Amino acid sequence: MTYLDHAATTPMLPAVASAMAAQFGAVGNASSLHASGRAARRVVEESREAIAAALGARPSELIFTSGGTESDNLAVKGIFWSRRESDSRHRLIISATEHHAVIDTVEWLHKHEGAQVSWLPTDTYGRVSVDALRGCIEEDPDDVAVVSIMWANNEVGTVNDIAGLAQVCQTYGIPLHTDAVQAVGVLPVDVAASGVDALTMTGHKLGGPYGAGVLMLRTDVSATPLAHGGGQERDVRSGTLDTPAVRGLAVGVQAAVSGRHERAPRIAELRNRLVRGIQDQIPDAVLNGAPVDSVEADGPGRLPGNAHLSFPGCEGDALLMLLDARGIECSTGSACSAGVSQPSHVLLAMGADVERASGSLRFSLGHTSTDADVDHLLEVIPAVVERARRAGLSGARQ
């Protein structure tokens, strides 16, 4: 099986699995006051410190959550509610290419909570410009509750200049949240240096556990809780801490971040060969997003493992199915729109037409990817594209 869908989820590192397995046997609620509770608490806090060190954050800034979706919701809703109450602010600014965990959240806030949403356009690579953000804030700076712009796009892999965007927000005293689910362990992510106020990350995209994530929330930014209860995490997030998952998350983050310098260039090289190989054989295939060698701030302008291509005349669904039948696993976009597929909002925001958006595939490489994976794809892709084109034509004819 050739797994080219690491951006959906990447295999758990053996060290993570064994660290979690060891923890499963230990009893103890991290909020209990006795010895077992203290032991669990120690694991949680050591994990928090390890993750903070890896991210360039302070331990007190990290809130453990159930993953990316919860962290995004907590950041956007929580900061919005808090700033609406304290400062009567009603406006949210997000980029048009955000993950659904952010888009659906702001749409809900718009529909049910009276939020006004300002959508930041992107360039054809999917990048938000510092000037666009400044211009958008300037329309009414005193009404903006929070800005949310992703660090790196999950579909096309485009990296934003988060430090530059954070600087703009700082000028106006507006908190910036960034969804860094795809970035942590893949790109140089330093929370303190970036200047962001809130950052979402999750375990299963970097070799850690499913269902475990973090919201980095600066201690001077307040957020209204989504769920109420014991207030275990800074009174912002309630629920008994999942000690094994927290431990696994720490092991995963440490491994991903410390191994990044070795891994990222290797994955980028594989990805470059994949893109070249496809474009050599299918000359009209179009790479969506930033060029593979682009640079943003001090790092790559595109996620090293991301190859997102459009195949004119094909339907992404048909390509995916034909590749699946040949043992190659990839995605037509973000997994959340799988099933009934809609043309990607990311590609549409980048100016692609519906046909190009619908005829695209995302191949994403990760820590277990090999030359053989790329070879396998390059071997079958010409016949698959040809067949999908015929199916696409049969659809167009009717």
Partner 1 sequence: MNVIAAMSGGVDSAVAAALMVEAGHAVTGIHLALASTPDAARNGSRGCCTVEDANDARRVADVLGIPFYIWDLAERFRAEVVDDFVAEYAAGRTPNPCVRCNEDIKFAAVLDRALALGFDAVVTGHHARLDDGVLRRSVDEAKDQSYVLATLSERQLGLAVFPLGEMTKDEVRHEATRRGLLVADKPDSHDICFIADGDTRGFLGKHLGTQTGDIIDDETGTVVGQHDGARGFTVGQRRGLSLGIPAADGKPRYVLSLSVADNTIRVGPGQALEVTFIRTGPPVWHADVTSGESFECTVQLRSHGMTSPATVIAYETHAEIALHRPQRGIAAGQTAVFYGGPEADVVLGAARIEVAERALTKVSCE
CA within 13 Å, CB half, 137: 24
Helix axes 260-281, 243-258, angle to 10 degrees: 70
Identity of the residue, 41 or 389, whose beta carbon is nearer to partner 1 in the bound complex:
389
Q: Of these, 25, 114, 283, 339, which contacts partner 1 (CB under 8 A)?
A: 339
To the query of whether residue 336 is one of the catalytic residues in this protein, the response is yes
Provide the minimum distance between the beta carbon of 391 and partner 1 in the complex, in angstroms, as a whole number: 4
Q: Of these, 139, 140, 324, 379, which contacts partner 1 (CB under 8 A)?
A: 324
SS3 27: coil
- Backbone φ/ψ region at 129: left (φ over 0), alpha (ψ -120 to 50), beta: beta
Provide the CA 346 distance to its chain's centre, in angstroms: 13
Q: Is 321 in the site for partner 1 (CB under 8 A)?
A: yes
Q: Which of 136, 169, 330, 336 is catalytic?
A: 336
Q: Is 180 in the site for partner 1 (CB under 8 A)?
A: no
Q: Of these, 176, 318, 349, 365, which contacts partner 1 (CB under 8 A)?
A: 318
Q: Is 353 in the site for partner 1 (CB under 8 A)?
A: no
Identity of the residue, 214 or 282, whose beta carbon is nearer to partner 1 in the bound complex:
282
Kindly state the DSSP code that residue 279 receives in the 8-state scheme: H
Angle formed at CA 358 by CA 356 and CA 364, multiple of 5 degrees: 95
Q: Of these, 54, 144, 322, 330, which contacts partner 1 (CB under 8 A)?
A: 322
How many CB atoms neighbour CB 277 within 10 A?
Answer: 16
Provide the minimum distance between the beta carbon of 331 and partner 1 in the complex, in angstroms, as a whole number: 13
d(CA 83, CA 224): 9
Beta bridge partners of 178: 199
Kindly state the DSSP code that residue 141 receives in the 8-state scheme: G
Q: Of these, 18, 281, 342, 368, which contacts partner 1 (CB under 8 A)?
A: 342
Q: Taking contact as CB under 8 A, which single stretch among the options 75-83, 205-213, 258-266, 333-341 is the one that binds partner 1?
A: 333-341
Q: Of these, 317, 329, 355, 375, which contacts partner 1 (CB under 8 A)?
A: 317
Identity of the residue, 219 or 394, whose beta carbon is nearer to partner 1 in the bound complex:
394
Q: Of these, 325, 351, 353, 371, which contacts partner 1 (CB under 8 A)?
A: 325
Q: Of these, 121, 341, 375, 378, which contacts partner 1 (CB under 8 A)?
A: 341
Query: What are the strands of the beta sheet with 286-287, ordered from one edge?
Result: 286-287, 306-310, 360-364
Identity of the residue, 124 or 342, whose beta carbon is nearer to partner 1 in the bound complex:
342
Give residues 362-391 in contact with partner 1 (rule: CB under 8 A).
387-388, 390-391
Q: Is the dihedral of CA 121, 180, 76, 102 positive or negative?
A: positive
Q: Is 398 in the site for partner 1 (CB under 8 A)?
A: yes
Residue-wise DSSP of 126-161: SPPPHHHHHHHHHTSGGGEEEEE--SB-TTT-BBP-
Q: How many residues bind partner 1, per CB under 8 A?
A: 19
Q: Is 396 in the site for partner 1 (CB under 8 A)?
A: no
Pattern of binders to partner 1 over 211-230, x per CB under 8 A?
--------------------
d(CA 244, CA 16): 10
Provide the minimum distance between the beta carbon of 6 and partner 1 in the complex, in angstroms, as a whole number: 21
Provide the minimum distance between the beta carbon of 339 and partner 1 in the complex, in angstroms, as a whole number: 5
Q: Is 330 in the site for partner 1 (CB under 8 A)?
A: no
Helix runs in the chain, H state only? 14-24, 35-55, 68-87, 100-113, 130-138, 162-172, 191-194, 243-258, 260-281, 316-325, 345-349, 354-358, 371-397
How many CB atoms neighbour CB 153 within 10 A?
Answer: 32
Q: Is 340 in the site for partner 1 (CB under 8 A)?
A: yes
Provide the minimum distance between the beta carbon of 341 and partner 1 in the complex, in angstroms, as a whole number: 7
Catalytic residue positions, numbered: 336
User: Residues interacting with partner 1, by CB under 8 A?
Assistant: 317-318, 320-322, 324-325, 339-342, 387-388, 390-391, 393-395, 398
